[in-house]
Amino acid sequence: MSLRHAMLGLLADRPASGYDLMKRFETSLSNVWPATQSQVYGELGKLAKSGLLKVAAEGPRGRKEYAITEEGLVELRRWLTETEPERVRRSDAMLRVFFLNLLTPLEAVAYLSTEAGRAAERHAALEELEGVVDWGDDPLSVNGRLALEYGLRFSAMYEEWARWAAEQIEGQPHTGRAG
């Protein structure tokens, strides 16, 4: 469960309320770890209870500002240095590839071309983002930049792969299995 660590990581930068955290999830982490309100508030309570966070200040409207504790920092560093990222990641998109033979070659090629197009769009959106964001030397944005570069490389790779795969199918004798 990495939601816990995503939250600790954000709070290591600076304290925040649940609401603040949600906004930070949306702007910086949404592409690698989306989270919903119910998750964030729920986890905030659990983390405070277990001592990894503490309520640092209370404000208007019942606002509670949470700060990471020494214990939380230790846990966060432990996670970063001593645990391995999950090896297998589910991929809806790749799952479909296994079953492409259930479609006509035409349909399969259409699917792959659409995927290639979507990857190109994502790539363009990330390039756009790169131009817009203020890449100061604030540590979070240094790292954000590494992640952005990953996104750019990933979407480029995916687009190329999808176009290649479409070609494979086009150049293949029909088996007449579907359609």
Binding mask 47-66 for DNA (x = CB under 7 A): ------------xxxxxxx-
Least CB distance to DNA at residue 130 (A): 26
* 164 is a contact residue toward a copy of itself (CB under 8 A): yes
> Judged by CB under 7 A, which stretch of 12-20, 67-75, 133-141, 167-175 contacts DNA?
12-20
Tell me, what amino acid is at 146?
L
Least CB distance to DNA at residue 37 (A): 5
Please report, for residues 12, 125, 168, the alpha-carbon distance to residue 114 in angstroms, rounded to integers and kept in the order given: 40, 16, 16
| Of 81, 94, 82, 51, residue with least CA distance to 69 | 51
Query: In the structure encoding, which two tokens stand for residue 163, read together?
Result: 């176009």
Binding residues for DNA (CB under 7 A): 1-4, 17-20, 34-39, 41-42, 44-45, 59-65, 90
